[in-house]
Amino acid sequence: MNQLFLPLLLMLVVAIPLIMGSRKQKRAAQEQKNLQTSLSEGDRVMTTSGLYGTVADTSDDTTIDIEIAPGVVTTWLRQAVREKVAPPVDDEFDDSAEQSASAVEVVDETPAAETSGAQVAPPLEHGKK
């Protein structure tokens, strides 16, 4: 009995991480498959190459159309979608931001470099000879 204990313990030490790793990999593959089947028009996604876009058409089983810019629609394999992302934040200001911006007074329009005596280098002119 004592002679079988050490080999059995070694097999358990090797087998448990292998089993746990394969379970984790299967779970991740299932989550990715669920994501790809749950895509619908209007979802904001990121592809495996890092391209962001909005799903425009999901009628095909193997491909989807992604709008990457207004009026620019490209066709991608569903497997190329890496994840859904949050929609972009709208850059419009609300009324309170406009009111607070108009309440700010301009005290001095002189640049700080002119008043402090700091030297400013002229801009570089690339490609001009």
State which amino acid sits at residue 39.
L
Number of domains in the chain: 1
Per-residue pLDDT of the chain (129 residues; tens, 9 = 90+): 678 888 888 888 888 988 888 999 999 999 999 998 899 999 999 999 999 999 999 988 899 999 999 999 999 999 999 999 887 666 554 555 455 545 455 555 555 545 566 777 777 677 665
46 within a domain of the structure (yes/no): yes
Distances (CA, A) of 56 to 2, 10, 16, 83: 66, 54, 44, 16
The helix or strand, by DSSP H or E, that contains position 55, with its residue range, turns out to be strand 52-57
Residue 107 is assigned to a structural domain of this protein: no
What is the chain's Cα-based Rg?
29
* C-alpha atoms less than 13 angstroms from C-alpha of 126 in its C-beta half-sphere: 0
Res 67: pLDDT: 94
Range of the domain at 37: 2-86
**Residue 111 within any structural domain of the chain:** no
Record the tokens describing residue 113, joined without a space: 């470099």
Domain assignment present for 10: yes
Note whether residue 53 is domain-resident. Answer: yes
Antiparallel, parallel or unpaired: β 81-84 and 52-57: unpaired
Q: Is residue 98 part of a domain?
A: no
Q: Residue 76 domain-assigned?
A: yes
Q: What is the CATH number of the domain that holds 74?
A: 2.30.30
The pTM assigned to this predicted structure is 0.54
